[in-house]
Amino acid sequence: MDMTIVIVLAVAVLLAAFVAIGALLVLLLRRTAPKETGPTAEQIAQLKAELTEKELEQARKDADEIRVKAEGEAGEIVRKSEALVESAALMRREVEEESRILKNELKELRADLERRENRLGEREQRLDEEARRQSERARKLAETETELADRRVELDQVAEKRRQILERVAGLTAEQAKTELVKEIENQAKREAALIVREIEGDARKEGEKRACKIVTLAVQRVATEQTAESVVSVLHLPGDEMKGRIIGREGRNIRAFESTTGVNLIIDDTPEAVLLSCFDPVRRETARLTLEKLVLDGRIHPQRIEEAYERSKAEVQDLCVRAGEDALVELGITDMHPELVTLLGQLRYRTSYGQNVLKHLIESAHIAGIMASELRLDRNLVKRCALLHDIGKALTHEVEGSHALIGAEIARRYGEHEDVVHAIEAHHNEVEVRTVEAVLTQAADAISGSRPGARRESLEAYVKRLERLEEIAQSFEGVDKVFAMQAGREIRVMVRPDNVDDIQAQVIARDVAKQVEEELTYPGQIRITVVRESRATEFAR
């Protein structure tokens, strides 16, 4: 680095000297330029002497300035050179460091390659050894297969010789001997199987009949209830015969209002201190009975009081239905049932099927199913629940179209019943294929409860269905508010809305109802259709 500085300084000094000499030569040339009126030789010599001294002095000054300037520039050049030298040294150190790192990485890569080569060599060696072992194993297997083939040939030859010897001794070929043996074994197996099957079937039939009779007999004996009573009339005892006049009212006003409100036929005859309530619907008849009982106890009987007592009695009957459903659950030991299902069960208290009370039929079926489930070691509570709810759809058959089995299944599913219970409900009339034992027991319990002596009478059911159909036909016409089948089905009383139906339309409705009844139903005698259009004006005095 010192040598470089010296060289730079020398070059700077030489440049300064060259500049000074050049400046001096220029001045001399200016001074010595010829003029038009040129001086004499002496003047020229004198001037040269004077100019030479001045110019030398000026040249020295210029040379000193140039030297100072050159020294400054040389110092700047030296400083820049030093900076360049330092930068070059830094770059050299960085290059050396990178070179050292690259050398180390190359060493590591070389070592890694050597290790991999060693592992590959070891793996190739192991593969070679494994290939040799596989070749040896294949050779041994080939030898073993050859030996087995030879032995198989020898065994076939021995078997053939043995077969020929047996055929000579027995006088039969192998196929004939095989056929004879198979036939003999087959016949013997068939005889033994037939004997075993006959014995098993006999034992099973005896035991099954015995157990079935025992289960059914015990179930029927333990839950046998009273025989059904085919009745559509309720009797209400009066405190005295003078009460009949109050019930009838002026010109029969009260009795007409009572029948129009309740839809029940009120019969007042010569029976002392008693009146008869006649209606095919037991719920409606019980509501009318409670209404009349309240009116008799109160003593004030007029159309408005009849309506008020009817509303209170209807609410009371609803409460009785709920209580009846809860009592049925308590009797059967069933818990955790949705309140809506309990209410629907209670409504079946006043409904009948072929003359048999539906709620009693359900309780009886549940007891029978529970007994059979206990004998068969099944879940008794689940089977009793299935039997209790199998006719729950009958509570809504007059409101929803469809089979009561499918309606009941949908209701049970909606209120969270188990899927086995839902299936037993929908399958108890074979409308859905039976898939569970619980459904079979539900069918059996239903049949036992309905077929026992005195359980049902079909004539009442047919009669009730006819009356229900009469009301449905009249209710299907537009503008009809209420419909009541009265006089044991010999009269249909139709209440229409006066705002929607005028007097002429009321006559048309009566004629159309009569025509549709004649076309659809079969009945003795004749049926009278009465359409009532009544307008009321009500005001309160305050």
Q: What is the pLDDT of residues 39-77, one digit of tens each?
A: 566 766 665 565 566 776 777 787 788 878 877 887 788
Number of residues written out for the chain: 542
Q: Which H or E run contains 406?
A: helix 404-414
**Spelled out in words, what is the top-level CATH class assigned to the domain 225-332?**
alpha beta
* Residue pLDDT, tens place only, 206-255: 777 777 666 656 655 555 444 444 455 677 788 887 888 888 888 888 88
Judge whether residue 329 has pLDDT over 50: yes
The per-residue pLDDT for 43 is 61
| pLDDT, mean over the chain | 79
**Alpha-carbon span 44 to 42, nearest angstrom:** 5
pTM (2 d.p.): 0.44
At 470, is the pLDDT very low, low, confident or very high (cuts 50, 70, 90)?
confident
Task: Tell me the pLDDT tens digit for each residue of 282-303.
Answer: 778 888 888 988 888 888 888 8
The per-residue pLDDT for 171 is 64
Percent share of the chain, pLDDT over 70:
78
DSSP strands (E only) in 64-221: none
Q: How confident is the model at residue 276 (pLDDT cuts 50, 70, 90)?
A: confident
Q: Is the pLDDT of residue 527 over 60?
A: yes
10 Å CB burial of residue 445 (0-12, 13-18, 19+) is buried
Give yes or no for a contact between 309 and 291, defined as CB atoms under 8 angstroms apart.
Answer: yes
Determine the Cα–Cα distance for residues 201 and 208; give it in Å rounded to an integer. Answer: 10
CATH number of the domain at 347-457, out of 1.10.3720.10, 3.40.190.10, 1.10.3210.10, 3.30.70.270? 1.10.3210.10
Q: Cα dist. 272→239, 258, 269, 296 in Å? A: 10, 21, 8, 15
Whether residue 54 contacts residue 62, with contact meaning beta carbons closer than 8 Å, is answered with no
In the numeric block, which tokens belong to residue 513? 């109802």
Stretch (H or E) spanning 485: strand 480-486
Please tell me the predicted confidence (pLDDT) of residue 50: 59
The per-residue pLDDT for 173 is 67
CB atoms within 10 A of CB 138: 10
pLDDT score at 478 = 87
Position 4 scores a pLDDT of: 58
- Say if CB 328 and CB 341 are below 8 A apart: no
CA torsion 120-121-125-130 (nearest 10°) is 10
Report the CATH fold assignment for 462-532. Answer: Alpha-Beta Plaits (3.30.70)
d(CA 285, CA 265): 9
**For the chain, what is the total number of helices (H) and then of strands (E)?**
15, 8
- In whole angstroms, give the CA distance from residue 115 to residue 224: 97
Confidence of residue 333 (pLDDT cuts 50, 70, 90): confident
**pLDDT, tens digit, for every residue of 116-174?**
999 998 999 999 899 999 999 999 999 999 999 988 898 888 888 877 777 676 666 66
- Give dist(CA 358, CA 395) in Å, integer: 9
Q: What is the pLDDT of residues 412-468, one digit of tens each?
A: 999 989 899 999 999 888 888 888 999 999 988 888 877 655 445 445 566 677 788
**What are the residue ranges spanned by the domains of the chain?**
60-140, 174-223, 225-332, 347-457, 462-532
Nearest to 469 by CA among 503, 516, 412: 516
pLDDT at 396 (0 to 100): 75
Q: Are 532 and 493 in contact (CB under 8 A)?
A: yes
Indicate the SS3 state at residue 530. strand
Per-residue pLDDT at 229: 42
Per-residue confidence (pLDDT) for residue 22, from 0 to 100: 63
